[in-house]
Each structure stands twice: as C-alpha cells, then as structure tokens.
Chains A and B, each alone.
Chain A
Amino acid sequence: KAGVTQTPRYLIKTRGQQVTLSCSPISGHRSVSWYQQTPGQGLQFLFEYFSETQRNKGNFPGRFSGRQFSNSRSEMNVSTLELGDSALYLCASSLGQTETQYFGPGTRLLVL
C-alpha cells in the first residue's frame, strides 16, 4: 500500500506571497493532520481534518488554513508568508480519529 505523499517536496517563496501544500493520505485513511517542524520550535500541531471537517486546531494564526476533500486528500494554505514560516511541513494520516498516524516525507518551505 502506498504511503502518505506530499507535494511539492521543496518550495521557495518570498515574503507576502501565499502557498498551498498538498497531502494524499494512505488509501482508506480518513483523518489527515498537519504539523510544522522548525529547529527552534520543534514539531507543532497545526490542524486535523476528518471527513472533510476540521476537528482540532493548534495555536497558529489565521494565516494558516486547510481543507479536506471528499477523497480525503488535504491541502494547507499559508497566506502572507513571513520569514518565520520557513519550515518542514509534515502531513500524517490515520484510519480514524484514534488510530496511529503515519507521516509523509514533508514539504520543505523556504521563505526569502
């Protein structure tokens, strides 16, 4: 079974731009979570989607948003990019809301 895939793998943007990252979960998985990983803050939870509904949200500003489609694929969007948004963005999927999460390889975003 194919794992979690994330596109693109690398991205360079400039301050003020917006970006959309995509995540395709493992086939059959309905829950998708997003995490931000930075050297300074470590791994932090962004939000979780289950059946196209946001179920949980971490402590991030409203510039960070996401959505989930009927096929469970998910996108996250960051508007008005700041230098501090440079990070590895990880997506994880699970079968249901209480199952183990499996991670994709991440999208590395660099904001200049």
Chain B
Amino acid sequence: AQSVTQLDSHVSVSEGTPVLLRCNYSSSYSPSLFWYVQHPNKGLQLLLKYTSAATLVKGINGFEAEFKKSETSFHLTKPSAHMSDAAEYFCVVSSGSARQLTFGSGTQLTVLP
C-alpha cells in the first residue's frame, strides 16, 4: 500500500522569498516520487521526479526536492518565489508493481507581490 500526505493545504509567500511545500509518503516498496504542478484550468505538469538515484533532485523553474528515507519525506523547495509559481502542487508516489500514481491532496501556493 502507498499513501501521500501533504502537510499544508495552503501556503502563502511573498515574491522573492523561499518556498517550502511539505510532503510525507508511505510505501511498502522503494518508491518513485514526483511533484506535479497544476495551474488554473490546466493539466498537470511534471516538476521533478525521484527514482532512487541522487537524493537531491533538481527540477524545472528552479524547484528542487530532497528525498529523506529516514523521515519518509520529499519536501519541495525553491529559493525565491515568482508570481508565476502561484498554482496547486501535488506530491505523488508510485511504488512496486502498482502502476497507478497516488496523489496527495494538493497544496495551493499563493505568491504575494
């Protein structure tokens, strides 16, 4: 069985300040972990993925995430928020023979001017 918990349903930051979106996962197998972003009325765009290589994963648009097995966490960070980062972010796990992705409940990121 696998599950994902996104610890914050809403995060608000000022433009130019760091972003931290928190995600904890549960998996019976070595997981693949993903962060997707969804802008209003759009589909999901892949930000980054972890598949058991380097624990620090760099993605698009300056985002990165660190896989911490001991903490079962995969938090998403960005050093400096931009207005265009305002969107909903989903942490996703896929593991074992289960091909289906299991999504977290999402974190709505607001970027204030």
Give A residues with C-beta under 8 Å from B: 4, 31, 33, 35, 42-45, 48, 55-56, 58, 90, 92, 97-98, 100-106
Contact = CB atoms under 8 A, between A and B. Distances in A.
A2 to B, nearest CB: 14
Contacts of A103: 36, 43-46
Q: What is the size category of the interface that chain B forms with chain A?
A: 10 to 19
Given A42-B105, A43-B103, A100-B34, A56 B98 contact: yes
Contacts of B43: 4, 90, 103-106
Contact of B101 (A97, A101, A105, A106): A101
Nearest to B44: A103
Given A35-B103, A103-B44, 17 more contacts: A4-B43, A31-B99, A33-B101, A35-B101, A42-B104, A42-B105, A42-B106, A45-B101, A55-B99, A56-B98, A92-B44, A97-B99, A98-B99, A100-B49, A103-B45, A105-B42, A106-B43
Nearest to B36: A103
Interface string B52-96: 000000000000000000000000000000000000001000000
A33 B103 CA distance: 14
Contacts of A100: 34, 46, 49
